[in-house]
Structure 1
Amino acid sequence: MWMSLMKLDLASVGLAVSLGFIFVVLFEIFRIKSYRGKTPPGPTPLPFVGTIPHFLLNPMEFIRSLSQYGEMTTLYLGRKPAIFLNTVELAKEAMVQNASSFSGRPPIPLLMWVTEGYGIVMATYGHSWKQQRRFALHSLRNFGLGKKSVEERVIEESSYLVPEMLKSEGKPFDPQHAIQNAVSNIICSIVFGDRFDYDNKRFAYLLEIVRENIIQSGAFLDRYKQVFNLLPIIKHFPGPHQKMYQNAEELKAFIRDAVKTHRETLDPDSPRDFIDAYLLEIEKQNSNEDSTFHEDNMVMSVSDLFLAGTDTTATTIRWSLIFLTQNPHVQERCHEEIVRVLGYDRMPSMDDRDKLPYTHATVHEIQRCGNIVPSGVFHETTQPAKLRGYDIPKGTAVFTNLTAILTNKEHWKYPDTFNPENFLDDNGHFFKPESFLPFSLGPRVCLGESLAKTELFLFITSLLQRIHFSWPPGAKWPDMNGIVSVVRSPEAYDIICHSRGSKK
């Protein structure tokens, strides 16, 4: 009899659990349907996980499919709806005309754990973010952003990069380290006051962990965000998130060492770089109760500038070598134009852009097709908002679908192919369509836009002037969807370089 009761109790428990599960699922389906009646159309979400599985299956194809739902699309990041803006007109309406409502940043537990809410990129929209961003822009301008000094630094670094690329002349090699080191040296010279040699092992290690974190962070955001939301205590347990945290701590330790050295050698009358300027600002704001200037914010701001100033531009240049080898006629036309204007030995300058319209257009087409942030950097509504008749609640994640905007058939002559003619008018002069938004727009527009433009034009032009790039015979072309994370990067590849030679 006892065994019968046990079986009956277990059956009852099993039935209760099953009915409870069915009830929860049905309730979730009902909840989703009630939401979908009030939000813009979009793909059908699954209970609890939303549309994340669709994205993980093929990220780029999924992002490309979103514009079929109209100018706005609703996705579900787990149980929470998010809005994708698929047209440049709508992106401007939200991010520019209604900037105060759409300039927030979602407090993602995983990233908050790493950044502690400090810095610029992941900081919430508010007083601290405004102070830190304003100071960073002001300081970067003072130390060369938009001035000749940055241009001179890029030109100087190009003179190191070209021979570094030619060290393996005629042999397949991976150009990633050389490119990443060269680009990173520009922001390092502004932030730390110095550059690093390409064979500096400690700096090479730092660049590697930076790249590793950027690649992994996208996957973590997709796979672990919901776990961290529900169970923040997971940070105390083993897992791949621990490697991401450790990498971030190592970068911060490197920055703190630099800050210590700067503090010991600081000359208040002659600041050398961003760190010096920040240390002086801490002293200046010391008696201001409203100040957000302190060492933790400084370390994260430097980290943000270092990360943003290294990987995005380096990734774009890595895409450029793929596009240029896939389209050798474009590479040759650029080289001929550059040599006609500059010869082989005069380094390019930003003043040469008007004289090099095809090369200038090619650099922009590389950015358009490289599309390194396919859905833009996520925003969040800071207050209830209205957009095209829809009520958008406070705390809604908002994405700018740069993939759709950069390939809109109404705005581009050749939306689906690599063709610099997209940036040339009928007279062969350079022009920039309004749908060219690789740096986003609004108050959260990329902090280093001016720096990135200078680097991309000068580095790519210098490389095309002196080097012919080709694909290794028989080597497989990389998947052009790339590796989609926070930044969309190409798969690792080898390239062959041949010197164009000096013809003085």
Structure 2
Amino acid sequence: MFNTVQVAKEALVQDAFAGRPHLPIVDWITNGLGIVAVTFNHSWRQQRRFALHTLRNFGLGKKSIESRVLEESQYLIAEMLKEKGRSVNPHHIIQNALSNIICSIMFGDRFDYDDKRFEYFLKLLNENILLIGSAAVQIFNFAPFIKHFPGPHQKFKQNVNELSGFVRHEVEEHKKTLDPDSPRDFIDAYLLEIEKQKSNKDSTFHDENLVRSAADLFEAGSDSTATTIRWGLLFLIQNPDVQERCHEEIVQVLGYDRLPCMDDRDRLPYTLATVHEIQRCGNIVPFGLIHETIQPTNLHGYDIPQGTVVMANFTAILSNKENWKHPDTFNPENFLDENGHFSKPESFIPFSLGPRSCLGETLAKTELFLFITSLLQRIHFSWPPDAQPIDMDGIMGIVRYPQPFSIICCSRDTKK
């Protein structure tokens, strides 16, 4: 377990620590395909390199992705304000909004918030993220023969098959309308890569890897950021002074009508600090994903054999008393210097580091800043009058979810 940022930084940047352990539950559902769960090998290298290159081509880090996020933020604001001050559970609409960004990159289109097929798809995704962290499914790793018997693991597998079916349907539809001269999205680009690599005997590009890689990117690219924003709403409601200070800063710089852009970050230091503090306190993946050494190595004078399972303790790193001014409370001052300028401590590594760092880091940073800033510009968030105290420990799966909650969304007075 890497409990300090210094040790985590030294280890995670090395290829030696970039493996994934053999987990029967993962093998059962992925067949060794995809990006997130496969070990450090030729297939993983090809798939990750292609994914990074293709995601950049379709807008990551460019103005085009900003415009997609901003467009979706306006749909989300309109949806939140539909209830006109009545209590609303924001879980689904936030999930849908974030999923639509990665959908537009992967599948070339977004889905309406009342699309029943897509709502069902997101429900399966949420179920599985909770299921894979449950004791019942983890037992599978110690007794994989139970795949022949009923139990929660069968529901998990069924959900994976249905999610894969959703992606497979999209792939088949894309094949019918593919224009080699004008790829529309990730699936088109991947289909063209399959064709291009046909004569390469070392190629790992084929339909099944496309389905698994697309599912990996979709799952990773929608749920984690949506979960962070849900935590953000909780922290902002529980800290109304922070919410008001962000709103005042945003309106002072942007007014009520100009949409934010990434270039505004320097002019919105308190809001930017709040976005980072939401990530720090949300701490949605407390121990990251499991790593395994792929060769014998040495760390801080200790010999570590090949095949050693290791993890980063992000909970300890993101709350270390030596590195944070206010380690145990929600306080954006953790990311501000004495002059009120944004300043990021070296212990802030929520996307991990090295070859296994989050593929979607650039996208997530864009989404978090633009969505949260847009919401705070236009909406005041508060508890319903009958709200019960919420357990801030959350629900643990692979991802740390907040407990279900409802909020009241009131439109800000745009005539001030």
Please indicate the TM-score interval, normalised by the length of the shorter structure. Answer: over 0.9
Query: Given the alignment of the two structures, is residue 364 of structure 1 paired with residue 286 of structure 2, yes or no?
Result: no
- For residue 201 of structure 1, what is the aligned residue in structure 2? 116
- For residue 93 of structure 1, what is the aligned residue in structure 2? 10
What per-residue deviation string (whole Å, max 9, x for no partner) do you get for residues 461-496 of structure 1?
000000000012242222111111100010000011
2:249·2:271 contact (CA, 8 Å) conserved in 1?
yes
What per-residue deviation string (whole Å, max 9, x for no partner) do you get for residues 64-100 of structure 1?
xxxxxxxxxxxxxxxxxxxx1000000011111xx12
Query: Given the alignment of the two structures, is residue 189 of structure 1 paired with residue 104 of structure 2, yes or no?
Result: yes
The letter for the 2-side match of 1:420 is P
Name the SS of the counterpart of 1:386 in structure 2.
strand
- For residue 389 of structure 1, what is the aligned residue in structure 2? 301
Q: Distance in 2 between matches of 1:212 and 1:312?
A: 14
Higher-Rg member (1/2): 1
Identity of aligned residues (%): 69
The letter for the 2-side match of 1:106 is P
Q: Distance in 2 between matches of 1:375 and 1:418?
A: 20
- Alpha carbons of 1:207 and 1:389: their partners in 2 closer, same or farther (altered >3 Å)? same
- Which of 323, 336, 343 aligns to 1:431? It is 343
The letter for the 2-side match of 1:195 is R
- For residue 275 of structure 1, what is the aligned residue in structure 2? 187
- Which of 171, 179, 189 aligns to 2:86? It is 171
Q: Distance in 2 between matches of 1:477 and 1:465?
A: 26
The letter for the 1-side match of 2:7 is L
- Segments of 5+ residues of structure 2 without an aligned counterpart are none
- Segments of 5+ residues of structure 1 without an aligned counterpart are 1-83
Q: Distance in 2 between matches of 1:226 and 1:255?
A: 28
- For residue 155 of structure 2, what is the aligned residue in structure 1? 243
The letter for the 1-side match of 2:37 is M
TM-score (norm 1): 0.81
Name the SS of the counterpart of 1:309 in structure 2.
helix
1:208 Cα deviation from its structure 2 partner:
0.6
- Which of 18, 22, 26 aligns to 1:107? It is 22
- Which of 404, 417, 422 aligns to 2:316? It is 404
- Which of 180, 185, 201 aligns to 2:95? It is 180
1:341·1:355 contact (CA, 8 Å) conserved in 2?
yes
- For residue 173 of structure 2, what is the aligned residue in structure 1? 261
1:503 Cα deviation from its structure 2 partner:
2.5
Point out the more displaced range, 298-307 or 383-392. Answer: 383-392
- Which of 181, 203, 206 aligns to 1:291? It is 203
- For residue 164 of structure 2, what is the aligned residue in structure 1? 252
Q: Distance in 2 between matches of 1:455 and 1:228?
A: 35
- Alpha carbons of 1:374 and 1:350: their partners in 2 closer, same or farther (altered >3 Å)? same
Query: Given the alignment of the two structures, is residue 154 of structure 1 paired with residue 69 of structure 2, yes or no?
Result: yes
Q: Distance in 2 between matches of 1:206 and 1:316?
A: 20
- For residue 145 of structure 1, what is the aligned residue in structure 2? 60
TM-score (norm 2): 0.98
1:171 Cα deviation from its structure 2 partner:
1.3
- For residue 210 of structure 1, what is the aligned residue in structure 2? 125
Name the SS of the counterpart of 1:347 in structure 2.
coil
Query: Given the alignment of the two structures, is residue 459 of structure 1 paired with residue 365 of structure 2, yes or no?
Result: no
Q: Distance in 2 between matches of 1:164 and 1:474?
A: 22
Q: Distance in 1 between matches of 2:127 and 2:87?
A: 23
Root-mean-square deviation (CA, aligned residues, Å) is 1.1
